[in-house]
Chains A and B, each alone.
Chain A
């Protein structure tokens, strides 16, 4: 187990390096540069700016210096877009915000989604099942950019219960709406996957054995059926976790949360090389970690898998 984790971490380092190199090349290949504004700037001024950010050096040297700074000084460099902020600042400011509402949304989506899926499967073809299936289909077809304004309309403008935006240091009232808007469609997916996987497990021979033993239904479901049924759900949850805690530009825009999702999109639009790279590396590292956790959970659920 520990050997497995160490091995996976050892593989993670070259993976991240490859990720950096590819992202770097893609940015360089794309036409334009961070300072190609609408107004024409004298060439001398541009040269000065390029020199200040090290863009006058050959590309390979820029890459090597960047990697050196990231690896040995944990410095993602200055932002090209905001003169007085470094990428470390941007991440330090935005990531806690998205992580907060993303993690809550993840918790809500997985717990409620799994519970809903299990209930729907256990009560298959009952009104509860139809209600759950109806809800999941409804929730899946409503994209979050429709969901967000509807939530604001209902809870802010009509009912006046919750603020329609802002972060306010993560006060719960500011967190609720982003969480709902982000979680809903994921929740629906999780419920759907759980339901179908649970149905399959409930029809399996070993569940018949468990029933034949005279175990009460809740024990059959929780002890015998749930764990094997969660296998496909877990593999879906890994990438979903990364997607959620790194935020969504839609949520950040609608609720003005100041999260990292918005910063990511802005940086791409403004050709803010260092910010793009910084957030990409963060995403990569999170993805690698989430996959590692998924694999460990897999081995826990299915003893046939040896780590």
Chain B
């Protein structure tokens, strides 16, 4: 099957007063129908901006270049009114903060129904009926009552379920979830991930899960893309990255996650701070924090090259990655 979304050479730059900042550099990836891709990185790694740019939701001072083929449509080449025909229908997005992502002055049903009226040409009555069905499907008890509620009358988990329902109403080909569980209680997080997995499988939707929580990734992602300083530094099957990471940054991430680093007696955070995009280090952006750095890393940026079947990394170091050396 052809990929449902193919992004090539995506660049997102922001014009600031003094300088221009590149938030995303030369990002390329493709998404198979129905698969789950986790995009992992620290704050400021460009993971959110990359996907906001696909949705046409980046700030006004941004310039986006590259191609993002959704089927045979290049999302990045569309004007706003043309883009509006696809976003919300074929490609949908869920945001981090369910508390503020719903309009406080409109009833839940109105916010859901308008999607179907807009994209599927439903009448308002049909749309509300379908919206209530979808609420039931995302596990909201008493969906009729909740549909008539205002967002502030629902809990955070409930609101995120509403957001999920809203995004899935048109059975999109791609669903982008930007840290969908960050603002929720841990117990609710697990439920939410199950829901994502089940619904996207049922509807055949490809899921992009943007997160900094590797615990989230482990459970549901088929493939994983690690970003650092606006670039992809390693990508491949989730298992490969978890059990055989090839980039020192991926290794560091794994060891700073409490769930994964079972053998470590205490948490080992990656030393140093994520780089400021305004002053990205020369060469490999990770070299100031890297335990495996070589002379070459200071001057030359490593390209993203395959290391195995479907597993790529951008790192000059070719030897064994031994965790003891990092610690």
Binding site for B on A (CB under 8 A): 204-206, 208-217, 219, 223-224, 227-228, 301-304
Residues of B within 8 A of A219 (CB): 114, 118
Known: A205-B95, A208-B95, A304-B150. A213 touches B104 (CB 8 A): no
- In Å, the complex CA distance between A231 and B308 comes to 58
Residues of B within 8 A of A217 (CB): 80-81
Stretch of B84-92, B131-139, B257-265 lying at the A interface: B84-92
Instruction: Please state if A304 and B103 are interface contacts (CB–CB under 8 Å).
Output: no
Known: A205-B97, A209-B102, A301-B105. A214 touches B119 (CB 8 A): yes
Instruction: Please state if A303 and B105 are interface contacts (CB–CB under 8 Å).
Output: yes
Which chain A residue shows the least CB distance to B86?
A214
- In Å, the complex CA distance between A227 and B106 comes to 9
Residues of B within 8 A of A209 (CB): 95, 101-103, 163, 166
The SS class assigned to the A binding surface is helix
Instruction: Please state if A303 and B152 are interface contacts (CB–CB under 8 Å).
Output: yes
Q: Which of A205, A215, A301 contacts B100 (CB 8 A)?
A: A205
The yes or no answer to B220 lying at the interface (CB within 8 A) is no
Which chain B residue shows the least CB distance to A227?
B105
- In Å, the complex CA distance between A214 and B119 comes to 8
Instruction: Please state if A206 and B89 are interface contacts (CB–CB under 8 Å).
Output: no
Residues of A within 8 A of B114 (CB): 213, 215, 219, 223
* CB under 8 Å from chain A, chain B span 90-122: 92-93, 95, 97, 100-106, 114-115, 118-119
- In Å, the complex CA distance between A214 and B170 comes to 12
The yes or no answer to B16 lying at the interface (CB within 8 A) is no
- In Å, the complex CA distance between A141 and B89 comes to 49
| Nearest-Cβ distance from residue A199 to partner chain B, whole angstroms | 12
- In Å, the complex CA distance between A303 and B110 comes to 14
A-B contact pairs, 29 of them (CB 8 A): A205-B97, A205-B101, A206-B102, A209-B166, A210-B103, A211-B57, A211-B87, A212-B55, A212-B92, A212-B93, A213-B88, A213-B114, A213-B115, A213-B118, A214-B84, A214-B87, A215-B84, A217-B80, A219-B118, A223-B106, A223-B114, A224-B106, A228-B103, A228-B105, A302-B105, A303-B105, A303-B150, A303-B152, A304-B104
Which chain A residue shows the least CB distance to B89?
A214
- Chain B CB count within 10 A is highest, among A205, A217, A304, for A205
Which chain A residue shows the least CB distance to B112?
A213
- In Å, the complex CA distance between A219 and B118 comes to 10
Residues of B within 8 A of A206 (CB): 100-104
Instruction: Please state if A204 and B100 are interface contacts (CB–CB under 8 Å).
Output: yes
